Amino acid sequence: MVCLADLDNLQIARDLIAAGLRLSIVRSLTGLGTRILRKLWKEIHGASPKNGRLPDTVLSFIEDYDSAAKLAAFVSIHKIVYSVSVPALANYKLHHLSLTPQSLLNAWKDFQLINTTDLDINAAYFAARDVGIQIVMFAKCRTCDARFIYDSGKKYTERCPFCRTRIV
């Protein structure tokens, strides 16, 4: 017998697939089997899902200052709306970024509503995941106070992308 939690899980998987999230990520977020996810993909998109290796980090999606700024803006939305305080670390004022299937989808939809350009949900997933588990830093700009994805070894992430893309 199917319970309501199973139906909710299937619905969120359907919504993530409709948004274009890669099946291996949907599987890890929802726990659903590959066979049903592949059927859902084919039903929704009318073709078989993409195969191939996933990127290791969000840095693979950052191709210019604009993409760096978009991903930083998405992470900011996700952190503000879905940040959960960790009681054991309250003295240190640290927060844990709760990356759930629903939080990813909701933050991605919110971003799409307020931004005029599309954001790949796969890039959004990697950005939220990598900032949440601190694969990359989420630094604060000393000039404009915006938060941005920071990695000293990459051209588009070693400085604030918002300062680089703003019109003066």
Backbone dihedral angles phi then psi of residue 125, each to the nearest 5 degrees: -60, -50
Range of the domain at 109: 58-165
Of 41, 71, 49, 62, nearest to 147 by C-alpha is 71
Rounded Cα distance between 167 and 128, Å, is 27
pLDDT at 167: 62
In a domain, 88, yes or no: yes
28 and 72 part of one domain: no
In a domain, 18, yes or no: yes
In a domain, 51, yes or no: no
Percent of the chain with pLDDT over 90: 73
Instruction: Summarize pLDDT for 114-154 with one digit per residue, the tens.
Output: 988 899 999 999 999 999 999 999 999 999 999 999 998 88
pLDDT at 152: 86
First to last CA, the chain: 61
CA dihedral 61, 66, 72, 74 (to 10 degrees): -80
Instruction: Summarize pLDDT for 29-56 with one digit per residue, the tens.
Output: 999 999 999 999 999 999 999 888 999 9
Count of domains for the chain: 2
